[in-house]
Amino acid sequence: MEADYVIIGAGSAGSAMAYRLGEAGHSVLVIEAGGTDIGPFIQMPGALSFPMSMPRYDWGYETEPEPHMGGRRLAAPRGRVLGGSSSINGMIYVRGHPLDYEHWAESGAAGWGWADVAPYFRRQEDWHSGGHGGDESYRGTGGPLHVTRGSRVNPLVRAFVEAGAAAGYAVTGDYNGERQEGVGPFDSTIWRGKRWSAYRAYLKPAQAKFDVKVVNGFAERVVIEEGRAVGVALRGGKVVRARREVVVAASAFNSPKILMLSGIGPGAHLAEHGIEVVADRPGVGANLQDHLELYVQYAATQPVSLFKYWSLLGKAYVGARWLLTKTGPGASNQFESAGFVRSRAGVKYPDVQWHFLPIAVRYDGTAPTSGHGFQVHTGPMRSGSRGRVRLNSADPAAAPSILFNYMSLEEDWRDFRAAIRLTRDVIGQAPFDQYRGAELQPGDAAQSDAALDEVIREHAESAYHPCGTCKMGAADDPMAVVDPECRVIGVEGLRVADSSIFPRITNGNLNGPSIMTGEKASDLILGRAPLPRDNAPYFVHPDWETQQR
């Protein structure tokens, strides 16, 4: 129970670090509370709504009553399984916008600008366009992470891109290439019809090739002796010792929780729970961010949606075909068309995302209509609202207290209304004329600001992109938790590297940036020179100050 490096969490960043540290010749122990990812609910992309709500795979957290969301408690899932949340997510792959990372660097995360992180995105990727266009000069090949595109055979999927073009938006062949802004095909972490999680990409090969082992156990706290992290205490009394460093990669909820249980966090809050303060860092658990989204849903006037598979017989067909051939509807996450647009003139780069889905259904798998339909998930990308993660108890078994404080700013409401109205504008274009039925949500009656606000309050859901709770920043920033080398400020031999260190949330889905964080952090841990900066140009609308599209 001793290794050079001990990593808490076998998720997106933890798996990547385990591979790279093992590849460099070090012994690595990865502590994971969850179990195996074997089973069709995880491996079949079309079954993505199931593992997220299964206690076997999910920590099962929920928020405190959200004060600006009618007091609702929202689901806050995180993966408790090999691969972490990459084993239960929607498998959508988005790098983020280059200006997201420029903001990171400007806010104190030196060395994390776009030119610094782009080479790590390339290193992690094995990108396959599948004949659907793309920007090969910007993408990586031969990396551990397969990134692919769906078949795009459904006419609704194609109609969405055509409608976006008709509404005046550019069609981008690769939003992960030079130009994010526009509409086009989605990238996904699916390979040969199966989910390609961080476990499959990194940790499983690392176990086979290097001195990397997984310890199944519940990490209660980091063991700190004389100001230095020396190991991890597991439930049951065992201690896994680290000869070099301990790395926390346990999610935006569990990473700050583990730090606080270890005596690292807001001193007064730790004292309330009788925890001895090792390092008074007020930023631990602060700065919590997420993407909130609404499903704008329509009935379809033709039987072209995935609803034809919604019966018991249809689901049996999809499942059997996938089990036998790894093809068909079960081999796709069905998110095959995307959009990234600006909500208004004066916004420099996209702040609204669209996920198009050729069925009208909730994330938990319940359908709002007993017929064909389609939907667009939409919401603002860069809300200014900030929440927090706190301890409910000094008992490590207790769930953390999570409050996102969603929609706490007036501009959140303005931007969310704009996202809904821009979505309606696209669906109102001619390419959807042959498919578009009644608007199911928000519904035609919801036109005023007040009516839309009520729909948002009652029906908006988390996109499950929590981040920011162990913010990376300059060592003299009182709210920073880690420095730009991912080292916990005030404790030796301890780092954090996962989505919790993001200074600000990135555009789109966070799995890609989380894996990149693990890739880059591994070079920092190893003391290696960073990969050469990549100064390839990226698109910013030349008339962004005066035009919305």
- Give 136's pLDDT tier (boundaries 50, 70, 90): confident
Q: Is residue 142 part of a domain?
A: no
- Is residue 312 in some structural domain? yes
Q: With a cut of 70, say whether residue 35 has pLDDT above it.
A: yes
Claim to verify: residue 437 and residue 455 sit in the same structural domain = yes
Catalytic residues: 465
336 and 279 in one domain? no
Q: b vs e for 453-492, b when ≥16 Cβ sit within 10 Å of the residue's Cβ?
A: eebbbeebbbbbbbbbbbbbbeeebeebbbbbbbbbbebe
Among 10, 155, 5, CA closest to 81: 10
pLDDT at 256 exceeding the cut of 80: yes
114-124 vs 98-106: helix crossing angle, rounded to 10? 130
Structure tokens at 385: 């609202």
Strand-pair category, 239-248 with 2-8: parallel
What is the pLDDT confidence band of residue 380, given thresholds at 50, 70 and 90?
very high
Burial letters 290-306, b for 16+ CB under 10 A, else e: bbbbbbbbbbbbeebbb
* pLDDT of res. 316: 95
CA distances from 170 to 166, 346, 467 (A): 9, 18, 30
Q: What does the pLDDT read at residue 365?
A: 62
| In-domain check, residue 392 | no
The answer to the question of whether 341 is labelled as a binding residue is no
What value does the mean pLDDT take over residues 354-375?
82
141 in a domain, yes or no?
no
> In angstroms, rounded to a whole number, what is the distance separating the alpha carbons of residues 149 and 476?
43
Tokens 């931007």 belong to residue? 415
- DSSP secondary-structure letter at 93? -
Give the pLDDT confidence of 138-153 residue by residue, as tens digits: 999 999 999 999 999 9
pLDDT tens sequence across 517-529: 999 999 999 999 9
Q: What is the mean pLDDT of residues 339-361?
A: 97
Region 268-284 average pLDDT: 98
* Its pTM surpasses 0.85: yes
Any domain includes 549: no
Which is it for the CA torsion 400, 204, 127, 152, positive or negative? negative
Going by pLDDT thresholds of 50, 70 and 90, the confidence category of residue 367 is low
Q: Give residue 368's pLDDT.
A: 59
Q: Per residue in 457-468, pLDDT tens?
A: 999 999 999 999
Residue 364 banded pLDDT, cuts 50, 70, 90 = low
Question: Which of 426, 444, 459 represents a domain boundary (last residue)?
Answer: 459
Final residue before a domain boundary, out of 459, 486, 518: 459
Look at residue 319 in the predicted model and tell me its pLDDT: 95
Single-letter amino acid, residue 106: E
The pLDDT of 212-217, averaged and rounded, is: 98
Taking residue 517's Cβ as centre, other Cβ atoms within 10 Å add up to: 29
Interval 163-182 mean pLDDT? 97
Q: Kindly tell me the sign of the dihedral angle through the C-alpha atoms of 42, 8, 13, 462.
A: positive
H or E element that contains 157: helix 155-166
Please count the helices (runs of H) and the strands (runs of E) in the chain: 13, 22
Range of the domain at 232: 1-69+77-130+192-289+465-539
64, 101: one domain: yes
| Sign of the alpha-carbon torsion through 181, 183, 186, 187 | negative
Tens digits of residue pLDDT in 390-448:
999 999 999 999 999 999 999 999 999 999 999 999 999 999 999 999 999 999 999 99
Q: Indicate if 327 and 352 belong to the same structural domain.
A: yes
In a domain, 419, yes or no: yes
Residue 155: CATH number of its domain:
3.30.410.40
- Same domain, yes or no, for 301 and 272? no
Regarding whether 121 and 233 lie in a shared domain, the answer is yes
Q: What is the mean pLDDT of residues 44-72?
A: 95
Rounded mean pLDDT of the chain? Answer: 96
* Residue 536 reports pLDDT greater than 90: yes
Interval 81-96: pLDDT, tens: 999 999 999 999 999 9
Q: Are residues 216 and 177 in the same domain?
A: no
Of 134 and 479, the structure prediction assigns the larger pLDDT to 479
In the chain, % of residues over pLDDT 70: 99
> What DSSP designation does 469 have?
T
296 and 279, same domain (yes or no):
no
DSSP-derived pairing of the beta strands 264-265 and 352-357:
unpaired
DSSP string, 392-453: S-S-TTSPPEEE--TT-SHHHHHHHHHHHHHHHHHHTSGGGTTTEEEEEETTTT--SHHHHH
Q: What is the pLDDT of residue 363?
A: 62
Number of domains making up the chain: 2
Looking at 429, 459, 489, the residue that finishes a domain is: 459
Q: Verify that 447 and 477 share a domain, yes or no.
A: no
Which pLDDT belongs to residue 366?
64
Predicted pLDDT at 361: 85
Q: Tell me, yes or no, whether 169 and 309 share the same domain.
A: yes
Which 3 state secondary structure label does DSSP give 489? coil
User: What are the angstrom distances between the C-alpha of 547 and each of 24, 382, 541?
Assistant: 49, 19, 9
Please choose, from the candidates 499, 533, 519, 516, the residue with its C-alpha nearest in 3D space to the C-alpha of residue 24.
Answer: 519
What's the average model confidence in pLDDT over 297-313? 94
Answer yes or no: is 16 within a domain.
yes
Q: What pLDDT, on the 0 to 100 scale, is given for residue 261?
A: 98
CATH number (domain holding residue 259)? 3.50.50.60
- Report the distance separating Cα 431 and Cα 183, nearest Å: 14
Looking at residue 105, what is its pLDDT? Answer: 98
Q: Is residue 397 part of a domain?
A: no
The answer to whether residues 162 and 97 belong to one domain is no
CA 547 to chain centre: 30
Residue 146 parent element (H or E): strand 145-147
3-class DSSP state for residue 492? Answer: strand
**300 pLDDT more than 80:** yes
Average pLDDT over residues 270-278: 98
Whether residues 176 and 197 share a domain: the answer is: no
